[in-house]
Amino acid sequence: MVSIIDLAMDALAKNELDKFLRGDKPYDIKLNQWVAANVPTDWTVIIPQGIYEIYKQKPDICIERIFEDTIIKMICDNLVNLYVALNVVYNQLLWEHDHRAAFRINRKKIIPLLTKKLYEKQKVLENDFRWLGSGEPKGLWSEVMRIDSILKDEIGHGVL
């Protein structure tokens, strides 16, 4: 069985970190039993066991810069990538707050861009009922608002 760090290293070597963060084949993993079955991948596993392990084991790679650049690229891309970037940033911010993140992202650069793109895509998100938007009256926008609310409660600021 291939480890998460091996998957992440393979994605880096192929310049496919966005595919790794989305859980696209061949970077798909078995979801933890506690993770909703209707999400693209388990960010609570792939970030700590992939991205953070590379940061710790191979500091010469500068994964934190590549990670940030990939998040920015995804925010500015299609709706799926925006949704994935939101979830990646959400987990990263919570882990930074709890001192569990291996590094900090550039919030001043990423959060305003994420906020802008989420509002630009609000109507589309409201009408997208994939993943955690399924069964919600405002589709994926409901998930955006839920994430924003949790971040405000937990760390004092959200993404909206």
Residue 160 lies in a domain: no
pLDDT tens sequence across 38-97: 677 889 999 999 999 999 999 999 999 999 999 999 999 999 999 999 999 999 999 999
Query: How many H helices and E strands in the chain?
Result: 9, 0
Task: State how far the Cα of 84 lies from the Cα of 81, in Å rounded to an integer.
Answer: 5
What's the structural domain count of the chain? 1
Residue 26 lies in a domain: yes
Mean pLDDT calculated for residue range 28-41? 71
Kindly report whether the peptide bond that precedes residue 26 is cis, defined as omega within 30 degrees of 0.
yes
Task: State how far the Cα of 130 lies from the Cα of 66, in Å rounded to an integer.
Answer: 28
Residue 25 lies in a domain: yes
Beta strands in 66-129 (DSSP E): none
Task: Quote the tokens at residue 110.
Answer: 């990423």
- CATH number for the domain harbouring residue 126: 1.25.40.520
HSE-CB of 78 using CA atoms within 13 angstroms? 4
pLDDT tens sequence across 90-134: 999 999 999 999 999 999 999 999 999 999 999 999 999 987 788
The answer to whether the pTM exceeds 0.85 is yes
133 lies in which domain range?
Answer: 4-155
